[in-house]
A = this chain, B = another copy of it.
C-alpha cells in the first residue's frame, strides 16, 4: 500500500498531521519552525509530496497543505510507533517521562511492523502514552477524546488532567515535580488578570501550582460536571 517513505518525509507528515488536527492547513512557516529548517526547503518538499503519485498532501500555493488519506495514514503509523515507544521505554526500561520523546523521535523510523506488534503486545495494547496522548490502534483508529485546554477552566471549577505537552524535558520535569500528570484532579484557584497565569491545586494536596498561559493552553483536561 504505502511504498517506502524516507525518515525525513515521515517527520514532515507527522508534523503536518499535528498542525492540521485542529482544522487549519499547515503553513510553510509553521512547518519550517517545528522542523527547524528553512521555509524554502519546506516549500520544496511540499511540492514534491503533492506531486508524487499517489500524493501525500494537497498543496494550496501560498496557503499551506493538508494531508491526503494516504498522507494521514502514513502520519498515524509513525505517531503510533512514536507513542508506543515512549510507553515502552517508561514501562519496560525505566525511563523518566522527560527522557522518552527524543529517543522516540529517532526510533519511530527504525521500527519494523513486527517489532511494533511485539512492543504493542508486551504492553497489552496500551491506549495512551506517558504524556496522556492517545495511541492509534493497529488499524490506525485514533481514540477521539474530547478535551479542553486547562486555561479554559473557570475559577473554582475543577477537572482531571488528560494530557501534557511531551516535547520539552524541562517542562516535563516541572510538571513531574508539581505532580501534574494525566489522571490527577485539579482545581483552578485564581487567574491573574493581565497575563492569564493560573494558580491550581491538586485534589488532596496543599501546594499551589503556577502555570503560565503558554503551558496552560497545551495541557488538556476533562472538566468535572
CA of A94 to CA of B118, assembled, Å: 8
Residue of B95, B106, B112 touching A103 (CB-CB under 8 A): B112
Q: Which residues of chain A in 87-140 are interfacial with respect to chain B, using CB atoms and an 8 Å cutoff?
A: 89, 92-95, 99, 102-103, 106-107, 109-110, 112, 114-115, 118-119, 122
- Assess the B110–A106 pair: CB atoms within 8 A: yes
In the complex, chain B residues whose CB is within 8 Å of the CB of A99 = 114
Interface residues contributed by chain A, number (CB under 8 Å): 18
Q: Which residue of B lies closest to A95 (CB)?
A: B118
CA distance A95 to B115 in the complex (A): 9
Q: Which chain B residues border A122 with CB–CB below 8 Å?
A: 92-93
In the bound complex, residues from chain B placing their C-beta under 8 Å from that of A114 are 99, 103
| Min C-beta distance of A110 to chain B, whole Å | 4
Give bound CA distance, A109 to B107, whole Å: 9
> A115 — which chain B residues lie within 8 A by C-beta?
89, 93, 103
Cross-chain pairs A/B with CB under 8 angstroms, 21 sampled = A89-B115, A89-B118, A92-B92, A92-B122, A93-B115, A93-B118, A93-B119, A93-B122, A94-B118, A95-B118, A99-B114, A102-B112, A103-B112, A103-B114, A103-B115, A106-B110, A106-B112, A107-B107, A107-B110, A109-B110, A110-B110
Which residues in A have some Cβ–Cβ distance to B below 8 Å? 89, 92-95, 99, 102-103, 106-107, 109-110, 112, 114-115, 118-119, 122
